[in-house]
Chains A and B, each alone.
Chain A
Amino acid sequence: MQPERNLQTDDWESLLAAANAGDSRSYQRFLLAVTPVLRGIVRARGHGLGDANCEDVVQDVLLAIHLKRHTWTAGAPVRPWLYAITRYKVIDAFRARGRRIDLPIEDFSADLVADAGPDPTEAADMAKLIGMLGDRSATIVRMIGINGATVAETGQTLGMTEGAVRVALHRALKALAALRERHVE
């Protein structure tokens, strides 16, 4: 992981622009920078859901941001885009848990990071969903995420080319979002 000290000062627009151009280090910094903000919003709204459940929602939002990052227009401000996705996914997640919430857009301008508290423990849903993927897809996601393996290392272990691992990873993440959608319905 990158050192935390950069996260608040980095400019989200240039990080996401670099990310969309294929720079995965900038992308990781971007995701690490927005996560506390997302967590703050979800926790401020999700009283009584519990930290682990809230973290499930945060992870839903992160996956959505990931799969829809091409809809951000380079040069446009990131925050309205990010908050629109967050709002949509948070409302969806709470609805799926049988709770209706009211999420006025003005709330997003408030700086909620301070209330976010410490990094939570495990969230359960995503691990369950990964278990529902095919064996090889699940292995790829786990190796890269949990073990911190690179794409090249993963390819060597599984006897796949780097290109094949990249494609498989992309498909696996899309499949996760689709599984989540079916879960939610």
Chain B
Amino acid sequence: MKTDTLIRALAADAKVDHGPALFLVGGLVAAFGLCLGLLWLLLGIRADLDQAMTNPLSIMRFLLSGSLMLVAGRLCMVVARPEGARLAQLWPLTGIAAATLGALIWAGYFTPTEAWQMAIVGKTAVNCLIAIPLLSLIPVALILVALRQGATTVPGLAACLAGLCGGGLAAMVYALHCTEDSPLFYVTWYGLAIAVVTLITTFLGARLLRW
């Protein structure tokens, strides 16, 4: 087949698909709603939420996971474009990592050494490790669908960012249920849950996002 022939066929196809941004924003809003609904139905929202919202350490959970979701989501939008691999600025992610580390050190400083172990292990680590990855299935799936509408030239990185964004959203929603307010607990277990989600998403998504 001659190339001019192909070009004629391509030019006749006037249907232009929608860009990934619409799918990504819509997907994240939908995922947030669904996760919130599931959490409320299955686990319930903590009774002392209004009180917890006056505790800066508890608020930090929402800020850290929420900013992870926003920054990774924004980066997804950049790397969804073919030339985005060269434009993506990853340093805001290290900013979030530094803030997380700061919260951990702060809590470590103000918690007596003999209470560290109890603070880290907490009472609900297993719930957290099950609930966050399960909740994250919804946002991760929707983000990957949106990214497939794009044309990433770095499928591995795009999938990794999808995992971070979806994991962040799930952790933020789960924090509405969870009553463990110490950074020693939530940095450890939320962090581990998000890491697992990111690892699996990177592994599966790298193939899924090839085109």
Q: Which of B1-35 contact A (CB under 8 A)?
A: 1-20
User: Contact mask A59-72 → B, CB, 8 Å, 1/0?
Assistant: 10011101111111
Comparing B79-87, B89-97, B102-110, B124-132, the segment that makes contact with chain A is: B79-87
B211 and A55 contact, CB distance less than 8 A: no
Q: Is the interface of A mostly helix, strand, loop or mixed?
A: helix
A66 and B86 contact, CB distance less than 8 A: no
A111 within 8 A of B: no
A31 and B7 contact, CB distance less than 8 A: yes
B67 within 8 A of A: no
A-B contact count (CB 8 A): 120
A84 and B85 contact, CB distance less than 8 A: yes
| Interface size counted on chain B using CB atoms at 8 A | 32
| Interface size counted on chain A using CB atoms at 8 A | 55
A130 and B1 contact, CB distance less than 8 A: yes
A119 within 8 A of B: yes
Chain B contacts of A83 at CB under 8 A?
A: 83
A127 and B1 contact, CB distance less than 8 A: yes
Question: In the assembly, what is the distance between CA of A70 and CA of B150, in Å?
Answer: 8
* CB-nearest residue of chain A to B7: A31
Chain A contacts of B4 at CB under 8 A?
A: 1, 32, 119
Question: In the assembly, what is the distance between CA of A123 and CA of B10, in Å?
Answer: 16
B39 within 8 A of A: no
- State the Cβ distance, B81 to closest chain A Cβ, in Å: 5
* CB-nearest residue of chain A to B15: A170
Question: In the assembly, what is the distance between CA of A83 and CA of B1, in Å?
Answer: 24
